[in-house]
Amino acid sequence: MARSVIFIIAIFLAFCALSCIAQQQPCATYKFLNNKHFSSCSDLPVLSSSLHWNYHPLSNRVDVAFRQTGVTDRRWIAWAVNPTSGGMIGSQAIVSFQRTDGSLAVYTSPITSYGTRLEQGNLSFPVSDLSATNQNNEMIIYASLELHGNISTVNHLWQAGPMSENTPMMHSVGPSSPNVKSIGSLDFLSGRVKATRSSSATLKNVHGILNTVSWGILMPIGAVIARYLKRFESADPLWFYLHVSCQLLAYILGGLSGFGTGIVLSRRSPGMEHSCHKIIGIVLFCLATTQVFGGLVRPDKDSKYRPFFNWFHFLAGCSTLILSIFNIYKGFDLLHAANFWRLAYSGIILTLLLVTLLLEICTRWCLPITKRSIPNAMEKNTSTVIAVATMEV
């Protein structure tokens, strides 16, 4: 009985080990239909892709086969080497897709901007033996590269995206999309592959967090506190300093840090234009700067210019509040954020609106009634005291 149990456990462990090996290196057992053979391969972490290659160190030539499985629709695929950096700009790509007439296109395309449509062009190094296949829901690109310099380690990228007629379209750029994770370094000699994360993707997330917290949350909270101070005519310095702190912190995080990261992203993405989001961001920065530094030149309460300043401060504040909330949702669209973040932010905004509504109800209806009842009670008590005094006399 004990031997049987040990035998079953051994078979189970062996099966698990074989399963792990198969999951780690399925490319090693792949057989190409055209009898091509590659000595090295690596299963890439995303987009159901793998790369096979033969490296010739004496001539610094690499024969590669980029393979993507699960292709059930008409799409483009690409594999690229970036000799200058680890990002998309400067990549030297090889692209393939099926045309509308059923034929297969395969060509080279240098990437010079984020708005590229993968136009055909020469690469910075020679490419030969270019071909592609598309069968059994699998697309494969074959090519021979002659790399410059005595190097074996390169930055590489791989992608896939939709088609519009015979034109490749933009792939997904959401923070959770596998398309923003398809980047890494590759050593042709040792076979070592390292996945990396795009610095631009990280900066986009930082930009989004800074602006959501500042323009989208702190700014509305400061507006609610300002409404409280106005309606209740509160002279409590604690609420005043809290209001000023929220506005200053929002300006530092969003107006300076958020605006600065936006400028950096714009420079890193020369071909990617988000005109509406960018223009609103510039307007918000100008309004917030005017609000912050306008307080330094605020007229005295007795000045004849004080009413004009108050109206400007109110209108600029309302404009900043409305534009900031709109631009936060616009940013969610650009980042393809999950619905959870939209719902969470909407819940915060609705809560602040509810608090503002309660303040309006209290100040417009509850407080006037209370103020009217206090004088009436005092007048009644006074009358009673006078009557009692008269009777005693």
Tens digit of each residue's pLDDT (9 = 90 or more) over 20-43: 333 434 688 888 887 888 888 888
Instruction: Show the 3-state SS of 104-167.
Output: EEEEEEECCCCCCCCCCCCCCCCEEEEEEEEECCEEEEEEEEECCCCCCEEEEEEEEEEEECCE
| pLDDT for position 330 | 84
**Rounded percentage of the chain residues whose pLDDT exceeds 90:** 11
Average pLDDT (142-150) is: 85
Q: How far apart are CA 79 and CA 139, in angstroms?
A: 12
Query: Confidence band (pLDDT; 50, 70, 90) for 78?
Result: very high
Average pLDDT (286-305) is: 79
Question: CA 226, 227, 232 angle in degrees (round to 5)?
Answer: 105
313 assigned ligand-binding residue: yes
Name residues whose C-beta falls within 8 Å of residue 169's C-beta, 6 or more positions apart in sequence. 117, 161, 162, 163
Average pLDDT (210-237) is: 73
Query: Confidence band (pLDDT; 50, 70, 90) for 367?
Result: low
Do the beta carbons of residue 75 and residue 161 sit within 8 Å? yes
- Cα–Cα nearest to 113, from 85, 76, 88, 84: 88
Average pLDDT (193-201) is: 60
For the ranges 60-64, 65-69, 354-358, the lowest mean pLDDT is seen at 354-358
**Rounded percentage of the chain residues whose pLDDT exceeds 70:** 74
What's the pTM? Answer: 0.53
Better-predicted residue by pLDDT, 336 or 120? 120
Average pLDDT (173-179) is: 69
- Cα–Cα nearest to 288, from 316, 263, 311: 316
Q: What's the helix, strand, coil split of the chain in %, to 5?
A: 50, 20, 25
Average pLDDT (114-134) is: 87
Q: How far apart are CA 162 and CA 168, in angstroms?
A: 6
Q: In the numeric block, which tokens belong to residue 227?
A: 């409404």
Q: In the numeric block, which tokens belong to residue 26?
A: 């399925």
339 has pLDDT over 50: yes
385 has pLDDT over 80: no
Other Cβ atoms closer than 10 A to 95 = 21
Query: Confidence band (pLDDT; 50, 70, 90) for 235?
Result: low
| pLDDT for position 77 | 92
277 assigned ligand-binding residue: yes
The mean predicted confidence, pLDDT, of the chain is 76
Amino acid identity for residue 259 in this structure: F
| pLDDT for position 67 | 93
| pLDDT for position 45 | 83
207 assigned ligand-binding residue: yes
Q: How many helices and strands in the chain, by DSSP H and E?
A: 9, 12
Q: How far apart are CA 294 and CA 299, in angstroms?
A: 10
Name residues whose C-beta falls within 8 Å of residue 150's C-beta, 6 or more positions apart in sequence. 60
For the ranges 103-107, 255-259, 324-328, the lowest mean pLDDT is seen at 255-259
In the block, residue with structure tokens 């896939």: 160
For the ranges 33-42, 45-54, 315-324, 368-377, the lowest mean pLDDT is seen at 368-377
Do the beta carbons of residue 243 and residue 222 sit within 8 Å? yes
- Cα–Cα nearest to 265, from 87, 20, 119: 87
Q: Is 309 left (phi over 0), alpha (psi -120 to 50) or beta?
A: alpha
| pLDDT for position 141 | 94
Name residues whose C-beta falls within 8 Å of residue 144's C-beta, 6 or more positions apart in sequence. 61, 62, 63, 64, 127, 128, 129
User: Cα 199 to the chain's mean position, in Å?
Assistant: 12
pLDDT, tens digit (0-9, with 9 covering 90-100), for 241-281: 777 778 778 788 777 777 777 777 766 655 455 678 888 88
Q: How far apart are CA 259 and CA 288, in angstroms?
A: 11
| pLDDT for position 23 | 40
6 has pLDDT over 70: no
Three-state DSSP class for residue 190? coil
